[in-house]
Chains A and B, each alone.
Chain A
Amino acid sequence: MVTLARPASDAAVIEVSLRDAERFGVLYDRYADQLYRYAYRRVGPAHAEDVVAETFLAAFRRRHTYDLARPDARAWLFGIVTREIARWRRTEEARYRAMSRAGTDPASDGLADRVAAVVAAQASWRALADAVRRLAPADRDVLLLIAWGELSYEEVAETLRIKVGTVRSRLHRSRRKVRAALGENNPTNVEVDDE
């Protein structure tokens, strides 16, 4: 058995997994929850598991190509999950469309409990769902990787293999559109403060 020093970098885990496939499970344990959370929000409960499973299997198949000089695999994995989500684009957009009508995702259990407390927010959720659906896919990826995936600009650049400047401009554009949509929806509550 290959033994890893305790806080092994992701790169070390991937390197070891080349010889000892079992070790790939360590990477799963490190990232499954955040990838699942992210995918679940984008494609919904019915497909999140498929997306995450395909992401890890694709990552496993491609682990030979991982740049071992990069200790942290988060951006690499988010890049793969982004491509997997892209294959579900129609599903994702249909879901936003349903939410923009209903205000909630009818298929989501977790949401129902919280709906009561946040009824007031639903109007803005409908507007958000509609606005996010209308975004260009590349802009949507940037916006949601930052807002929901909590990636930094630099990580998004690495994830999508674009320049940081491009990240900024796509983010700026998508935020502007979302803001405008919210403004239309609720003209009494327009605030355009950037945080």
Chain B
Amino acid sequence: MSEWKALQEWGAALQPPTASPVGLRNRVLAGVAGSDVTVRRPLTLPRWGWRLGLAGSLAAAVTVGVLAVQVLSVGDRAPVSQASAAQVLEQAARHAGSRTAVTVRGDQFIYVASITTALSRPEGAGSASGAVVEAKRRQVWLSADGTRDGLLRVRDKDGAGVRDMVLPGCSGGLEKHSKGGEEVSVPCKPTANYVRDLPSDPQAMLQYLKQRGGDTKNPPDQDAFSAAANLIREGYLPPKSLAVVFDALATLPSVQVVGDVTDEAGRTGVAVAITEVQGTRTELIFDRKSFAFLGDRSVLVRDQDGLPAGQVMSAAAVLSVAVVDQAGQTS
């Protein structure tokens, strides 16, 4: 046997039993998001079954505490435990549609406060066994028309360790990035964080969501659901548009109800969810009574990478949404 053939056979015997683990991908993409200070938009990576826990929701006045959301009378609806996903989403649409629209000027900011968690591994931990769930308090200010510098402020759940990141706006076709302490300008096109011209009809909305889901090999329903989650999770949509998003999701047969979930703020709710081919389930959580959007979670549906089925990979609970004039302003 030649030494070359021997080397190759030995190499074949040393091969890993599987392809690169899904958890590794999540870890890398989480790290990418965490190390990237140049993001304009909140990073969301649903097509890989992962996202930096973000959340977005309704807003009616300048500052809206979701916890204080009023109970909307919805008549003699079926109990949540028996409700179908379509029913939950229809109620969510009714709730959304009942809110008063807030006027948002292009030069303003959408402010969203949330509690987020993400699964991470301490530096150097080689296996999933070292994974820990980290909860953060997160505040984000997103330029409505995308031309101004936004701000992301993350701190530990106990309030310590404040970290600010500028989210560069695209002004005059250029956005400024800080690179090794130096400022560089990169050509850009502004990306509005407040989207006004969404389709007003559920079928058209569904087409839009499928398209927006991107050029993936995922099932189109999964892409549409991911795109919808991205749209609503950390931001503010005109109430009518939000209602149409929920109406569009209500037409997807693969969306299911998950009863009795507790979000990161300790609120219980009902969730509608889609199971992704990557082995995770993305849940949109609604208040049981008002059907206000509370937040979202991503949960493993099968044992994977040393983590058990049911493990929450990331979650976000929206605490408040507001429209403000300056980044850093909370009301």
Contacts and interface: CB of A to CB of B under 8 A. Distances in A.
Given A53-B31, A178-B7, 11 more contacts: A6-B215, A18-B186, A22-B44, A28-B29, A41-B14, A48-B16, A53-B24, A56-B31, A121-B9, A124-B1, A192-B2
B35 interface: yes
7 contacts: A21-B39, A36-B24, A49-B27, A57-B31, A121-B6, A125-B10, A148-B11
Interface residues of A, number: 58
Interface string A3-27: 1101000000000001101101100
Nearest to B40: A19
A60 B36 contact: yes
Contacts of A143: 7
B159 interface: no
A105 interface: yes
Contacts of A147: 4, 7-8, 11
B31 A46 contact: no
Given A19-B186, A108-B14, A179 B126 contact: no
Given A179-B3, A191-B2, A40 B31 contact: no
B285 to A, nearest CB: 24
Interface in B91-114: none
Contacts of A56: 28, 31-32
Interface string B69-87: 0000000000000000000
Interface string A39-50: 011000111111
Contacts of B188: 19
Contact of A110 (B2, B16, B23): B16
B5 A195 contact: yes
Contacts of B214: 1, 3
Nearest to B217: A29
Nearest to B38: A21
Given A125-B13, A128-B7, A25 B2 contact: no
A7 B34 CA distance: 28
Nearest to A110: B17
Most chain B C-beta atoms within 10 Å of own C-beta, residue among A28, A47, A192 = A28
A124 B20 contact: no
Nearest to A43: B126
Contacts of B179: 64
A191 B7 contact: no
